[in-house]
Structure 1
Amino acid sequence: MRTTAAMAIATAIYLPFAGPGAAAEVLPAEVKSKVSGELVWHDASGGATTRAREETVIKDFAAETGITVKGDFNSDMTKFFAAMDSGASIPWSFVEFPTKGDFIKAREAGYLQKLDPTIVDFTKIGEASHDEYGVEVLRYGIVFTYNTEKFKGDNVPTSIADIYDLKRFPGKRCLFKYPQFGGVLESALLADGVSRDQLYPLNLDKAFAKLDTIKSEILWWSNGDDAIRLLSSGECSMGIAWSGRVYGAVRNDKAPLAIKWDNSLYSQAVYAVPVGAPNAEAGQAMIAHFIADLEGQKALVEQITYTTDVAGLDSSSYGSDLAPWIVAGDNAKKAIEENASYYAQHITEVVDRFNRWVALN
């Protein structure tokens, strides 16, 4: 039994709206009849990714159901797991896990509700992209990114390993201040000669030794918008960023950025409903709507290039201009899938060691 008060949250609010041009309704009437009120969701993305969702799929969901949606941004899952571990009353009725590893950890801990098949239509999502507790969404690249004004002609970096070549490619490196879903440890091992099929389990001693060689040149970022700002401005000559964020900066702001998929990584978020959710029906309905809203999906991918394995859509559904930015085809073959099982089992020790290493002068 959860006995403590719900945790205070900072929220972004999306109110229901219906009007000219409203999206087609995609939820069955019997599902909509079950939901009402307010939904607070745990947002692990923030920034451009959340803005894209608010302007597309969340807007469509609020318009169709009349539910008020509030996003609570947290850059990793520390707050979620701390609340669940303590038995605190939680505010979230819908949770975005930024990686499948985080989802597996929560599922194995008994922190998630089974999804209700009378609400969430599993026929609308690929069979390999869901289980009873969650739906895989927003497949994203964790990609090597460089500033094209810093490197031109024959002196252009080609691989994530070039982050560690300070002599040939000088300048600050932008890396995610968290060891998972940022490719920090994996990039170090690849640069040290570890083959891609031997990355996991991670050799932490070797990874941190390689990171030591560039530590003085690292600028840490904690959210995707900061990564883009640092790379676009030239404060960092190269680094690792999320593919959709780079795409948005190039498309919308003409940012001088390029990416390379070779030995970059990719992962996927997972949507789920936590045990103790104050409005579990609305959380389940939000997942159901997300995978049924085909037009919303197309509009979302146009903005952020993170695709979901929903029925009726494939990579050809989004147009040839987006092909270089989507985790599919040759891009997926060149990149490496982050090992969700490894992180689910070892994330606590990895984060602890990473934080201690960062804190050392």
Structure 2
Amino acid sequence: MRKTLWSALLAGACVLTAGAVDAQTTLTVSSYGGVYQEAQDKAFFAPFTAANPEIAIRQDSPSSNAKLKAMVESGAVDWDIMVTDDSFGLDSDAEWLEPIDYTIVNRDKFIPGAANTYRVAADIEATVLVYNARDLPAAPQGYVDFFDLEKFPGMRAVWKYAPSGIIETALLADGVPADKLYPLDVERALKKLDTIKDHIVWWDTGAQSEQLLSSGEASMGLVWVGRAISGADQGVKIDWTQWTSQTGYWVVPKGTKNREAAMKALEFFTEPAQQIAFTEYMPYGPSNKNAVAGVSETFKGNLPTDHLDNRVLMDADWWAKNGADIDMRFQEWLLE
């Protein structure tokens, strides 16, 4: 009798437990891993689940545009939210993505360009002009100085990647106004780059770029803002006169079974409190315009959004249409 009663109670408990688990939605979020995803966990994921106990977050990494596409095409969508870069989440990618539901996500809170049909900005990043103050007699001010070998001698560290902003940088240094950059005059840019080609040392990873500047092998460079700040104790400083804008974006794969919960999470991740918290851990600016003035003191003054007036916006749509041809020409130029 006692055993039968205990068995019945245990069975009931199991049913209740299973029901509780089934009632909880689990969102799978894919990001880049490392310190970046750790910062997102502290600022976004953990606070979201604390505020929404009915929704759990399972993290995955690394993000991959190709993997997301394969999931959607196979009908086996395991991710609910993914972080991507400027090259993905465009209107041309509609077949793989859910439109952002702006009845749940407040579109009005974003800085210009940060809220689109299929993506919203997670953060505002930058490629900045940096220099090693130990090696140069004066501080450069803008891209014209980057190309001035007489006034600013030494090697230049540049990302070996055509869409890195180097084409735009060359054209701006050659006198093209920022609002007249596109369509890019690639041959004009390469001709300008010819003037410093023998003084360029190419980097492929962020770690390489930081090492080149910190060691003094390069006196100036175009590097990611996080790497620039990491090298500050080795004399590396940032010139914010001009900078090219990169952005981390949230996208939602088409076919997710948790679309509404995913949109709810995106609304939460991009609220001022979460955006400000993120700037305590990473030197990237908030995408929420209402968070810009309240950023953490940790990186204040060296966040991209502290210098929005000097931002050079890259045209991701134009690059999506023309990038393959430009990269082919860029690779040819490297061998000339």
**Interval containing the TM-score (normalised by the shorter chain):** 0.7 to 0.9
CA contact (8 A) 2:105 2:266 kept: no
Give the aligned partner of residue 29 of structure 1: none
Amino acid at match of 2:159: F
Q: What is the deviation of 1:306?
A: 2.0
- TM-score w.r.t. the length of structure 1 is 0.72
Show CA shifts across 1:297-352 (max 9, x none).
223112323233437x33221256744223346x2223322223322332232233
Q: Can you give the 5+ residue segments of structure 2 that lack an aligned partner in the other structure?
A: 1-21
Q: Cα gap change, 1:274/1:302 in structure 2, threshold over 3 Å: closer, same or farther? A: same
CA distance in 1, matches of 2:312, 2:72: 32
Give 1:171-320 correspondences, 5 Å limit. Answer: 171-180=154-163, 182-250=164-232, 254-276=233-255, 283-284=262-263, 286-292=265-271, 294-310=272-288, 313-318=290-295
CA distance in 2, matches of 1:355, 1:102: 22
Amino acid at match of 1:103: G
In structure 1, the residue corresponding to 2:88 is in which secondary structure? helix
Give the aligned partner of residue 142 of structure 1: 127
Give the aligned partner of residue 97 of structure 1: 84
Q: Cα gap change, 1:281/1:221 in structure 2, threshold over 3 Å: closer, same or farther? A: farther
Q: Once superposed, what is the RMSD of the aligned Cα atoms?
A: 3.5
Give the aligned partner of residue 133 of structure 1: 118
Q: Cα gap change, 1:133/1:149 in structure 2, threshold over 3 Å: closer, same or farther? A: same
Q: What is the deviation of 1:178?
A: 1.9
CA distance in 2, matches of 1:277, 1:175: 39
Amino acid at match of 2:118: Y
CA contact (8 A) 1:196 1:263 kept: no
In structure 1, the residue corresponding to 2:154 is in which secondary structure? coil
In structure 2, the residue corresponding to 1:110 is in which secondary structure? helix
Q: 1:41 aligns with which of 30, 34, 37?
A: 30
Q: Cα gap change, 1:106/1:54 in structure 2, threshold over 3 Å: closer, same or farther? A: farther
CA contact (8 A) 1:172 1:238 kept: yes
The structure that has the greater radius of gyration is 2
Q: 2:304 aligns with which of 310, 327, 350?
A: 327
Give the aligned partner of residue 4 of structure 2: none
Show CA shifts across 1:179-206 (max 9, x none).
22x3211111122232333222110111
Q: Can you give the 5+ residue segments of structure 1 that lack an aligned partner in the other structure?
A: 1-31
CA distance in 2, matches of 1:206, 1:171: 23
CA distance in 2, matches of 1:125, 1:116: 14
CA distance in 2, matches of 1:84, 1:212: 43
- TM-score w.r.t. the length of structure 2 is 0.76
Q: What is the deviation of 1:151?
A: 1.3
In structure 2, the residue corresponding to 1:66 is in which secondary structure? strand
CA distance in 2, matches of 1:189, 1:127: 26
CA distance in 1, matches of 2:189, 2:200: 15
CA distance in 2, matches of 1:185, 1:85: 34
Q: Cα gap change, 1:123/1:194 in structure 2, threshold over 3 Å: closer, same or farther? A: closer
Q: Cα gap change, 1:82/1:319 in structure 2, threshold over 3 Å: closer, same or farther? A: closer
CA contact (8 A) 1:62 1:68 kept: no
Q: What is the deviation of 1:278?
A: 7.8
